[in-house]
Structure 1
Amino acid sequence: MASRAVSSATSTPVETGPAMRKELGILGAISLIVGCMIGSGIFVSPGGVLEATGSVGLSLVVWVCAGLIALMGSLCYSELGTMLPKSGGVYTFVREAFGDIAAFIWIWVDLLLVRPSSLAIMALTFGTYFVAVFDLCGNTRLYVRLAAVACLVTVMFLNCYSTKLANWATIISTVFKVAALLVIVCGGILKLAQGNSLALTSGFQGSNYDVTKISLALYDALWAYDGWVCLTTVVEEIQKPSRNLPIANTAGVVLIVIVYLATNIAYFAAMTTTEILEADAVAVVWGDRVLKGASLFIPVAVMVSAFGAVNGNVFSGGRSIFVAARDGNLPSILSYIHVDKLTPLPTMVFTTVTTTVFVLLGDISSLVDFFSFTVWLFYGLSFGSLLVFRVTKPDRVRPYKCPIVIPVVMVIISIYLVLAPIIKEPSIGYLYAALFSVGGLIFYFPFVKYKLDLPYKGGLIFYFPFVKYKLDLPYKDKLTLYIQLILQVVPPTKYMD
């Protein structure tokens, strides 16, 4: 197989082995980011935003602000992704700017906290509406979790079998979920045309401007918008990334901002504030009021939407693990790809297993705040990396360059989102997340008291012996070989730094 050298300025791959194909065109890229962003949030989060803000008017302002934050973040990532056209997203940016230790801590947290908790929320949402659609009786808690696990396993096989097939599944689910939201928007327009405005008439009455409440409202809204980072995790699979990445990021996020704002107005036009606050899933209550006999369409739409979001995030999230393993910051087997399908099969299996644990043990409400606090800690670092590159790599080729004020504002917003809830309403959950992020400095109870000899000892403790000093474990090579034979995977193309 031919090989070619490249300049460090572009980080183009050296063809020393099999590599994943560039399957994502502009339509596929836009569908992926829209598919990752539209999950369960817009169908369930409006109540949480309204509760935190205290008024319809302020809640709409929060939705607009969250959309602008997502748009500014995507512009920052467009510059980073075109300057460093290497998959991995946050991991790649943090590693390039701050070194291996910071990147390892991120991938450690992403691997065992951020990614599985995010996917678990989406899978549990799928399970909840699967049970509702098929009217399953009995132990609904068990059925919800079984359906969620079935969703994860189906998505895993889909992504392992074919990147193109997974991409088409994303496109189809995106069309379906956008159509569902358009039904809600059109229903809202019809209600407004008939003179119904219900909750909209209250305006800014009862607004709560407390900084902590605003940050919690932003958490709920930003959860609905989360997914704008996904294209940079798969940039190696995007055709003409220097052109298509900025276009897809901007088009996808702008579309979602418009649709989300219109959807919220539709909710407020057909429902009272009390109904919105008391609803577990605002969209379902809206469907009962507006669609009447066709109301089953909404839970089906939410179910398909959640499935599409799981598919898109498994597709993009697995690439971060793949790149970290390829760089030597995780076991090498996680960077291997299937010999025929050229898909990162080991990372898909690992992601499915870890997410299944969260599905079986967690619940949606407890996972959202946990996810949001942790992820914005590292989003802030990635925005900071853009500022670092402007100083340390001023001559680096940048096919797209965003105004410098945008990453500065995003760093400030990230600091606010991380610190505001801790200062005003400290929670033990935030402490656990922070301690886990610097794992190795803290040992959990079972490992100290009962001296359990398990591989988990924290992120930094893994980093120094196994990453920095390349400590080799007995039988590691044999285990890797056995996994290779079972999964039919081989090492991928290497990157020249």
Structure 2
Amino acid sequence: MASSTLLETSATEPLLPSSSSSTSYNGEVEAQSFKPSRHVEDAIIPETAVLGRNLSWASAYILVISRVIGSGIFATPGSIVKTTGSVGLALLLWVFGAFIAWCGMIISLEYGCMLPRSGGDKVYLEFTYQYPRFLASTLVAVQAILLGFTASNCIIFGEYVLFAFGVEVTEVSQKTLALGLLTAITIVHGCFMKTGIRIQNALGWIKVGLILFMALTGIYVVLFNVKPVKGSTPGSQLSWDGLWKDSNWGWGTLSTAIFKVSYSYAGLHNLNNVLNEVKNPVRTLKTVAPAALFTACLLYLLVNFAFFVVVPLEEVKESGELIAALFFERVFGEQFGKTILPLAIAVSAAGNVMVVTFTLARVNQEIARQGFLPLGKYTNFFSSSKPFGAPMGGLIVHYIPSFLVIAIPPRGDVYNFILDVEGYPGQFAALATSIGLIWLRRKRSDLGRPFKAWVPAVWIRIAICIALIAAPFFPPKDGSADVGFFYATYAVVGIGLIVFAVLYWYVALVALPNWHGYRIEEDVEILSDGTSVTKLVRVKNE
């Protein structure tokens, strides 16, 4: 039977002995007697990663909390209060946003505890939607390769570092710092993996410390009746009557604020992407994600409280993205605020870039391992952890689109448009995993589930995903978009990428095999060093 290699990938993993395994005289099983399996059903078995289980509970917690708490908490509270009209309703939305995040988190928890392997949504979609064959894998691969970039927080880092040191913010200087951060993080994670983990842990704790410092500052102002350095203490805006004054309860208006709050909680599933590297993955996942959600919600509420006890409500509403700047300026003075705030935001952005790069590199590696990164003779490199015991290939796949997105588009409309395109297709993946969880409950009751999601919350998550997918197609009041063209263009482009992935799958894995009389099969081999290689091979039909 003739066959030729179509795609190839490799992965070192624990090998299960086949029925033909034999034992040597010293009691060890010979390597030649093993036959590894890469079937999707094996996802229910926790595999030991090549990289080793280097992530303790504390490291796993930072990986999640540093992904969740980005630069948004420094900028969005002002616009949220302006939309809601009152302090009380704004605080209520931050709690409601935590509930929405919890609905998505418990879905990731059930999947992650049931299928404790690196890859996150890639593993869950492949396991849930095994037919049409290879379609889920192709969709995930195309989205990860074309849209798996880190750009926004790199740009934010460059902007605020320049601002903190009083340097004029130009496009060239901002992009230079952004690309420098991206390059440095890629080198550290690729060449010095354990050092990279220590650095991202340190940045994560610094970020949490800064947010906690802001929160405690607000409490200190209230307890000791401290007078602001600039301006006067706000009046009764935190009294019960002032708390709800001018509240805007209209759903059409509130929905915008709800989306902003929801984005501030995004990233609770970050640990699911690297479960192969987590010590006691199921037990750690079940505690880390809820702890991160509780921490984020508590810190967000305390920081908002600090803003409201220091900055008058009308100034909060008109602050735009400068609410944190007003807070620091009123409490510590203009010069201190102009230096500390930008550096705090820069540190927060850098920590976010580190954890996102760390996890997305692992997702790219898993895609290559499964045979869906067609790079010919270089595929084994992108699938392995060579040469420094880290997923250098996955980091390179992440680095290239990130570099291009930062370097090529001008600041402003086009750049913001690219970021919108990045996030939109992810809603389809979230919808698919939510529906898939309901389906697996009915069709695969045989699976062990160390954690079970609350079904009504899953349905709420489904409704939210549908709302977010439909939202871009409802025209704004003036019928135009901020970027100067059709308001739903980013959604159309996002859907176009999904259609492209489906067409690629159909042509490469369905139409051409049928036309030329062959079929695609998976073949697993063991290299001399013990690495298992998965190949998608063309097998001639008899």
- The question of a shared fold, defined as TM-score above 0.5 by the shorter chain, is answered with yes
CA deviations over 1:363-399 (Å, ceiling 9, x no partner): 4765665555443332222222211211121110112
Task: Tell me if structure 1 keeps the 8 A contact 2:164–2:340.
Answer: no
Structure 1 distance, partners of 2:531, 2:81, is 48
Distance 1:141 1:340, change over 3 A: closer
Which residue of the partner structure matches residue 3 of structure 1? 15
Equivalent residue runs for 1:350-389 within 5 Å: 350-360=397-407, 361=409, 363=412, 366=417, 370-389=421-440
Report the CA distance between 1:126 and its aligned residue. 0.7
Decide whether aligned partners of structure 1 residues 274 and 470 sit closer, same or farther in structure 2, where only a CA change above 3 A counts. farther
For the pair 1:130 / 2:161, whether they are aligned, the reply is: yes
| Rounded Cα–Cα distance in structure 1 between residues aligned with 2:322 and 2:212 | 17
1:422 aligned partner: 473
1:323 aligns with 2:366: yes
More deviation in 267-276 or 379-388? 267-276
Task: Write the deviation string for residues 159-215 of structure 1: whole angstroms up to 9, x where unpaired.
Answer: 111332222112101110111111110111123332844554643333333434333
Secondary structure at the aligned position of 2:151 is classed as: helix
1:343 aligns with 2:394: no
The CA distance in 1 between the partners of 2:357 and 2:177, in whole Å, is 17
CA deviation vs aligned residue, 1:92-114 (integer Å, no higher than 9, x gap): 2122222432443344234323x
> In structure 2, how many angstroms separate the alpha carbons of the residues matched to 1:224 and 1:21?
31
Structure 1: how far apart are the matches of 2:273 and 2:345?
25
Q: Is the 8 A contact 1:120 1:355 kept in 2?
A: yes
Quick one: distance in 2 between partners of 1:123 and 1:419?
29
Q: Deviations over 1:327-374 (max 9, x none)?
A: 223325374233242211122122122112222325476566555544
Q: Relative to structure 2, which stretch is displaced further, 462-471 or 356-365?
A: 462-471
Quickly say closer, same or farther: Cα 1:359–1:51, change in 2 above 3 A. Answer: farther
Residue matched to 1:225: 265
**In the alignment, what sits opposite 2:31?**
none
Q: Partner residue of 1:174?
A: 204
The equivalences for 1:274-313 within 5 A come to: 274-276=314-316, 277-292=318-333, 294-295=336-337, 296-313=339-356
CA shift for structure 1 position 432 = 3.3
Structure 1: how far apart are the matches of 2:157 and 2:531? 33
Change (3 A) 1:250 1:289: same
Q: Does 1:234 align with 2:278?
A: no
CA pair 57-347 structure 1, distance change in 2 beyond 3 A: same
Distance 1:297 1:14, change over 3 A: closer
From the superposition, tell whether residues 339 and 470 of structure 1 become closer, same or farther in structure 2 (CA, over 3 Å). Answer: farther
Q: Map of 1:82-101 to 2, 5 A cutoff? A: 82-99=113-130, 100-101=134-135
| Aligned residue number for residue 75 of structure 1 | 106
Could you tell me how far apart the structure 2 residues matched to 1:212 and 1:436 are?
24
Secondary structure of 1:314's partner?
helix
Q: Distance in 2 between matches of 1:287 and 1:366?
A: 31
Could you tell me which amino acid in structure 2 is paired with residue 460 of structure 1? V
1:12 maps to which residue? Answer: 45
Task: Tell me the distance in 2 between the aligned counterparts of 1:190 and 1:400.
Answer: 40
| Residue 440 to residue 373, structure 1, CA distance change in 2 (3 Å) | closer
Q: Alpha-carbon deviation of 1:78? A: 1.2
C-alpha deviations, 1:48-92, integer Å up to 9, x for none?
323333332222222111112222322221110111112111222
**2:506 corresponds to:** 464
Deviation at 1:464, TM superposition (A): 2.9
Structure 2 residue identity aligned to 1:4? L
Check whether the contact 1:60–1:264 (CA below 8 A) recurs between aligned residues.
yes
Deviations 1:450-488 (A, max 9, x none): xxxxxxxx32333234455788xxxxxxxxxxxxxxxxx
C-alpha distance in 2 between matches for 1:297 and 1:313: 24
Letter in 1 for 2:276: E
TM-score by length of 1: 0.83
Q: Which amino acid in structure 2 is aligned with residue 123 of structure 1?
A: C
The 1:355/1:180 distance shift into structure 2, 3 A limit, reads same
How many angstroms does 1:406 deviate by? 2.2
8 Å CA contact retained: 2:164, 2:343: yes
Q: Distance in 2 between matches of 1:440 and 1:25?
A: 36
Contact 1:318 1:344 in 2 (8 A): yes
CA distance in 2, matches of 1:406, 1:440: 27
Structure 1 spans left out of the alignment, 5+ residues: 442-457, 472-489
> Which residue of 136, 140, 145 corresponds with 2:175?
145
Counterparts in 2 of 1:232 and 1:493: CA distance versus 1, 3 Å:
farther
- Superposed displacement of residue 259, structure 1: 0.7
1:448-459 map, 5 Å: 458-459=500-501
Structure number with larger C-alpha Rg: 2
Bigger strand fraction: 2
Name which of structure 1's ranges 159-168 and 372-381 shifts more when overlaid on structure 2.
Answer: 372-381
Aligned to 1:405: 456
Cα distance in 2 between the residues matched to 1:237 and 1:327: 18
The offset of 1:223, in angstroms, is 2.2
Q: Contact (CA 8 Å) 1:126, 1:147: kept in 2 or not?
A: yes
Question: One-letter code of the match for 1:98?
Answer: Y
1:105 equivalent to 2:139? Answer yes
Q: 1: distance between equivalents of 2:186 and 2:369?
A: 20
How many residue pairs were aligned? 456
Instruction: Give 1 or 2: higher helix fraction.
Output: 1
Q: Which residue among 51, 54, 62 is the counterpart of 2:93?
A: 62
How is 1:203-222 mapped onto 2 (pairs within 5 angstroms)? 203-222=243-262
Contact 1:215 1:420 survives alignment (8 Å): no
Q: Quick one: structure 1 residues 140 and 10, their matched pair in 2 at CA, closer, same or farther if it must change by over 3 Å?
A: closer
The 1:140/1:329 distance shift into structure 2, 3 A limit, reads: same
The verdict on how the C-alpha distance between 1:470 and 1:187 changes in structure 2, with shifts beyond 3 A counting, is: farther
RMSD, aligned α-carbons: 2.9
Q: Is the 8 A contact 2:203 2:347 kept in 1?
A: yes
